[in-house]
Amino acid sequence: MFSPKFSPALGRPLLQAFSPALFAWLCMAPPAQSQAPAGNKPETKPASAKGDAKAPVAQKKKAAARSLQVSMRDGLRFDPPRLSVAPGQDFVLTVENADTTHQTHNLVLLNPGTLQATVQASMELGEKGPELHFVPKSPNVLASTTVLGPDQKVQLKLKIEKPGIYPYVCTFPGHGMVMYGALYVGEPMPELSKDPNVPSVTLQAMTAGGGRRPFIQRMFMPDTGPASIAVALPGKQNYCWDSVLCRLRYSWTGSFLDASEHWSGNGKALATLPEKPWWTAPRETLDLRFGKPESPAPKLKFRGYRVSEGLPEFHYTADGKDVFQSVTEMPEGAGIVLKYRIPEPPPMTVLILGKNTPFKTTSGEMREGALRLTADQAREFTLQLSVPQP
């Protein structure tokens, strides 16, 4: 059995003034840096009612309370950076410091629109900061945790009646400008990549590759085979290449993959696309034929890819013939260019593009939805695909 030991500075759960619309209490798990034997994980103790004498709900078992979780993570960010709850819904927010760099953090839940002012006020606490856990006294503070050390966990029991977007922020000195998120109460959430309530630092950390470009990622992705490769081009285009069908699958503009589910789960979760693809390959588009369009589909075998200047050149064989394919971005992100190389092509190579194809070609003859290339032309050719203009 644990008996929680707190350092004087972090001694009691900190209770703030509560808005009438909300009440909260805290319960604190013992600090994990205590002398607990390995494997003895601190447990969250049952909540004890504090802070609001008018809140007998604390003693009653509330069956319907929703449980939400937010973790403090490396790189000064909350995970998830957004939460959503219905107005008037009882919920328990578990806040855990999961920062492996041993940073300490707090979480302060605020009235809508008071993030900047609260961060400012916390910076003005001066030497009073530590004893207040860096939480300024303000009616805009709806609930707050103490400063949490590594692996410490706290629960806030909450209910918010009034719809709105309630920021949560870490006011530990130096963190408030980048470490925040938002609780959506009865409000629709915008697309994550366009949410002004999510800091860009957080968005980047949630993006596969940390937002680096170019970047190559093998990942389970929506609407494609399990062996797909996602690539962030150096500008603003991204694409998914299917290594079973050996062809481009789709392309989208903007942020790369949101891989947070993938990393936090069992590794099987699908990455999500922050944007709808502006092009998805219809069935049989980009299929290769040797001889005539009616020739049987060649046997494809993916051989891997090599990387040059951060970008992959895919290699596969079609009926034993080597085919190389790479993708680059058109100037100003206006689209993508597919480059094919077939070092030893047969006398005639055909690429099925479909009628009314959006692809522009610079060589070969386009007839009835099929691009026909002589051996000379097939050694190296490109296809341009522009982002459709609205």
DSSP assignment letter at 263: H
Q: Which position has the token pair 């597919």?
A: 338
Strand partners, 258: 207, 272
Binding window for Cu ion (CB under 5 A); candidates: 41-49, 99-107, 119-127, 206-214? 99-107
Round to whole Å and give the CA distance between 168 and 174.
15
Cβ at position 18, least distance to Cu ion in Å? 23
Nearer to Cu ion, 73 or 82 (CB): 73
DSSP output for 162-225: S-EEEEEE--STTTTTT-EEEEEES-PPPPGGG-TTS-HHHHHHHBGGGG-SSEEEE---TTS-
Q: Which position has the token pair 């999961």?
A: 98
Cβ at position 328, least distance to Cu ion in Å? 41
The residue among 29, 70, 25, 27 whose CA lies nearest residue 50 is 25
* Exposure string over 320-331, b if 16+ CB within 10 A, otherwise e: ebebbbbbebbe
Cβ at position 158, least distance to Cu ion in Å? 20
Contact 83, 94 (CB under 8 A): no
Does residue number 169 form part of the binding site for Cu ion (CB under 5 A)? no
Does residue number 172 form part of the binding site for Cu ion (CB under 5 A)? yes
Cβ at position 262, least distance to Cu ion in Å? 25
Binding window for Cu ion (CB under 5 A); candidates: 123-131, 177-185, 296-304, 382-390? 177-185
- Binding marks (x or -) toward Cu ion, 250..289, rule CB under 5 A? ----------------------------------------
Nearer to Cu ion, 197 or 326 (CB): 197
Nearer to Cu ion, 179 or 271 (CB): 179
Round to whole Å and give the CA distance between 158 and 105.
20
Binding window for Cu ion (CB under 5 A); candidates: 22-30, 155-163, 167-175, 311-319? 167-175
Binding window for Cu ion (CB under 5 A); candidates: 119-127, 164-172, 321-329, 365-373? 164-172
Cβ at position 103, least distance to Cu ion in Å? 6
Nearer to Cu ion, 170 or 271 (CB): 170
- Is the dihedral angle over the CA atoms 177, 180, 184, 190 positive or is it negative? positive
CB atoms within 10 A of CB 139: 11
Nearer to Cu ion, 145 or 377 (CB): 145
CA angle (334, 352, 339) in 5-degree steps? 45
Nearer to Cu ion, 180 or 359 (CB): 180
Structure tokens at 176: 């408030």
Nearer to Cu ion, 177 or 334 (CB): 177
Nearer to Cu ion, 172 or 340 (CB): 172
Three-class SS of residue 123? Answer: helix
Binding window for Cu ion (CB under 5 A); candidates: 59-67, 114-122, 166-174, 277-285? 166-174
Does residue number 73 form part of the binding site for Cu ion (CB under 5 A)? no
Binding window for Cu ion (CB under 5 A); candidates: 100-108, 250-258, 266-274, 312-320? 100-108
Binding window for Cu ion (CB under 5 A); candidates: 25-33, 57-65, 173-181, 315-323? 173-181
Does residue number 179 form part of the binding site for Cu ion (CB under 5 A)? yes
Contact 91, 159 (CB under 8 A): yes
Interface with Cu ion: number of residues (CB under 5 A): 5
Round to whole Å and give the CA distance between 82 and 80.
5
Round to whole Å and give the CA distance between 267 and 260.
10
Q: Which of 110, 121, 147, 170 binds Cu ion (CB under 5 A)?
A: 170
Round to whole Å and give the CA distance between 25 and 118.
21
Q: By CB under 5 A, what part of segment 101-140 binds Cu ion?
A: 105
Contact 162, 109 (CB under 8 A): no
Does residue number 168 form part of the binding site for Cu ion (CB under 5 A)? no
Q: Which position has the token pair 């094919």?
A: 340
In the complex, the residues that contact Cu ion under the rule CB under 5 A are 105, 170, 172, 175, 179
